[in-house]
Structure 1
Amino acid sequence: MTDQNVLVSREGAVMTVTLNRPDRLNAMTAELLDETVAVFETASRDDDIRVLILTGAGRGFCAGGDLSQGPGGGVTLGFPPAERPKALRAFMETSRLLHTMPAVTIAAINGACAGAGLSWACATDLRYAAERARFNTAFLNAGLSGDFGGTWFLPRIIGYGRAREKYLESQPFDAAEALRIGLVSRLFPQEDLLDSVQEIARGLAGAAPLALARIKQNLVDSAAVSLETALDREAERHTFCAESQDATEAAEAFIAKRTPQFSGA
C-alpha cells in the first residue's frame, strides 16, 4: 500500500510504516490520520505481521498536530462542533492499536517527536531513537491538554513524577535525556537507525510467534488487571504455548544445539 501521507513496505513478517509529510516534520492532518487508522487496523488483523515499525520520512518522526492547519492541528475542524470529540477519539484509535495489536510495535524515532507524535511513540512496545532526535510533550505550548494517550502511556514508561514534569514544564529534551529517563531503549547514529531497527525487528519476527504474541498480551494486561487475573492468564497462555509444536521444536533444538525453526503451530 502506497499513498501520499503514509508509506507501507513489507519484508517477510515485518511491516514498516513511514509517515510521509517530510516538509511538515510528518505532522498530523485528518488525511494522514485516516490513512494511518486504516493501515493499523489492517496490520492488527494480519497474523502474518509479527513486527510493525513506525517511523517518519525526512528529518522528523512526527511533530504532532499541524498547527498551520488550525488549533490542535485542525484534524476535527471538518466536523460539527458536537461531533468533534467523537471524531478525535476515532483518530486516537491508532494509539490503542499500536499498544494492543498482536504484532510487536517499534518506534524508530528519526527526528522531531512531539505532541501526539510522542504519544504514538509511547504507545509502541519498543522505542529506539537517532542520536539527533528531539522530544517534547508540546501540548501546553499549543494551548492543549493532550491526546492520543500520551498522559496514560508516558507515566507508565518513565514514572509519574517525570511524566508530570515533561507535561507541565513542556520543555524540549534531547535523545540522551530520553535514553537516561528510559523513554527509549537505545540510540543509533542517524544513518544507521532504520537498518538497526529493522535488524532488531527481523530477530523478533524469527521468534516463536505464538509465544511472542502472548508475551505482548501479558504485558498489555499488566496495566489493566489485578495480579490474580494476570497470573490466571499467564498460566493459560503459558500452558497453551508449552503444548505447541514450536515449544517442542525449541526444546529439540536446544538439545541438538541448533537454531530452532518455528512454524507458528
Structure 2
Amino acid sequence: MNEASVLVSRDDAVMTVTLNRPDRLNAMTAEMLDRTVEVFTDAAHDDSVRVLILTGAGRGFCAGGDLSQGPGGGVASAFPPPERARALRAFMETSRLLHTMPAVTIAAINGACAGAGLSWACATDLRYSADTARFNAAFLNAGLSGDFGGTWFLPRIIGYGRAREKYLESQPFDAAEALRIGLVSRLFAREELMDGVGEIARRLAEAAPLALARIKQNFIDSATATLEDALDYESVRHTFCAESADASEAADAFIGKRTPAYAGR
C-alpha cells in the first residue's frame, strides 16, 4: 500500500488527515480508500485522538471517484463483478467511521468538493470551507446514483428538499451558497482555512473529553431515537459526566476563575 496517497500528522490530541492526490483534485482510488479505512479505524480506537481534521492537498478537497480510472471512478473495478458492491461497501466504512468515531471530525474544505468527496464532508461533525471552494453532488453527471452515504447525511444537514435538488440537478454551487443552506458553518479566506480550523480543533481538544464524546453520541442516537429514548440516553450520559473528575475540575476551575485541566476521567 502506498501511504503517500493519504498523509497523517498529529498535534497532541488533534489528528490531521490530508488526501494527497493534488494533480487529480484528490479524487479517490482503491489505494487511497484502503489507506483511509486503516487511518480512520485506528483513529476510532485511539482515545488520545479527540479531534480529526480531514482536508486535501493542493486546490481540491476531494473530487469524488476518479473517472479517468473507469465508470464509477474505478474504485471497485479490480474486483470481479459479483464482488464489486461488497468491495465498495467496505470502502464506504470510511463515512461511517467519520460519523461515529468518538473523536469530533471536521472537514476543512479547501477546494473542489464533489461526489463521494461531498459525502465524506457531510459525514463529518463540522464543516468549514475556503471562500473559493466549489461543491457539486455530481453523481448524475457521471451516470451514477451516489455512494458513501451522501443521500443519508445531506438531507439531515440541509433538509430533504434541498438535498434532492442538489442530487437531481447536479449543478455546481459556491461556498457562499454552501454557507447559506447550512452545509458549512463558516467561510475562511483560503490561505487562512487551516489556521482557523486548527484553532477550532484545539479548543475542542482542550474540552472535557468524556463530555465531548457523549455529546457526539447523543446526536448520533437522536437520528433514529424516539424522544423518550433520547431523554433516557441523555439522562444516563449526563449523570455519568456529572459524576466524573472532569466535571469536578470544571466546577473548581469556574469558581477559581482558571482554565480547567481535564484528565478524561
Aligned-residue sequence identity (percent) comes to 81
Amino acid at match of 1:20: N
Amino acid at match of 1:142: A
Partner of 1:212: 212
Aligned ranges 1:100-179 → 2 under 5 Å: 100-179=100-179
For the residues of structure 2 that align with 1:180 and 1:74, how far apart are their CA atoms? 34
DSSP 3-state at the match of 2:132: coil
1:55 aligns with 2:48: no
For the residues of structure 2 that align with 1:223 and 1:81, how far apart are their CA atoms? 34
Partner of 1:84: 84
Give the deviation of 1:161 after TM superposition: 0.6
Give the deviation of 1:245 after TM superposition: 0.3
Give the deviation of 1:145 after TM superposition: 0.1
Partner of 1:15: 15
Aligned ranges 1:61-72 → 2 under 5 Å: 61-72=61-72
Give the deviation of 1:193 after TM superposition: 0.2
TM norm structure 1: 0.99
DSSP 3-state at the match of 1:167: helix
Partner of 1:240: 240
Give the deviation of 1:180 after TM superposition: 0.2
DSSP 3-state at the match of 1:15: strand
1:13-50 deviations in Å (ceiling 9; x for gaps): 00000000000000000000000000000000000000
Partner of 2:73: 73
DSSP 3-state at the match of 2:10: strand
For the residues of structure 1 that align with 2:123 and 2:57, how far apart are their CA atoms? 19
Aligned ranges 1:186-205 → 2 under 5 Å: 186-205=186-205
TM norm structure 2: 0.99
Amino acid at match of 2:35: E
DSSP 3-state at the match of 2:4: coil
Give the deviation of 1:230 after TM superposition: 1.1
Amino acid at match of 2:83: E
Partner of 1:35: 35
Q: Which moved more, 1:217-226 or 1:146-155?
A: 217-226
Amino acid at match of 1:34: D
For the residues of structure 1 that align with 2:14 and 2:227, how far apart are their CA atoms? 32
1:135-178 deviations in Å (ceiling 9; x for gaps): 00000000000000000000000001100110001100000000
For the residues of structure 2 that align with 1:66 and 1:119, how far apart are their CA atoms? 15
DSSP 3-state at the match of 2:3: coil
1:94-126 deviations in Å (ceiling 9; x for gaps): 000000000000000000000000000000000
For the residues of structure 1 that align with 2:56 and 2:224, how far apart are their CA atoms? 30
For the residues of structure 1 that align with 2:113 and 2:7, how far apart are their CA atoms? 18
For the residues of structure 1 that align with 2:258 and 2:77, how far apart are their CA atoms? 58
Amino acid at match of 1:197: V
Give the deviation of 1:226 after TM superposition: 1.4
DSSP 3-state at the match of 1:64: coil
Return 5+ residue gaps in structure 2 as ranges.
none
Partner of 2:261: 261
Give the deviation of 1:228 after TM superposition: 1.1
DSSP 3-state at the match of 2:64: coil
Partner of 2:96: 96
Give RMSD over aligned pairs.
Answer: 0.7
Amino acid at match of 1:118: L
For the residues of structure 2 that align with 1:179 and 1:55, how far apart are their CA atoms? 18
Count of equivalent residues: 264
Give the deviation of 1:196 after TM superposition: 0.7
Give the deviation of 1:3 after TM superposition: 2.3
Give the deviation of 1:191 after TM superposition: 0.4
Amino acid at match of 1:176: A
DSSP 3-state at the match of 1:9: strand
For the residues of structure 1 that align with 2:167 and 2:54, how far apart are their CA atoms? 23
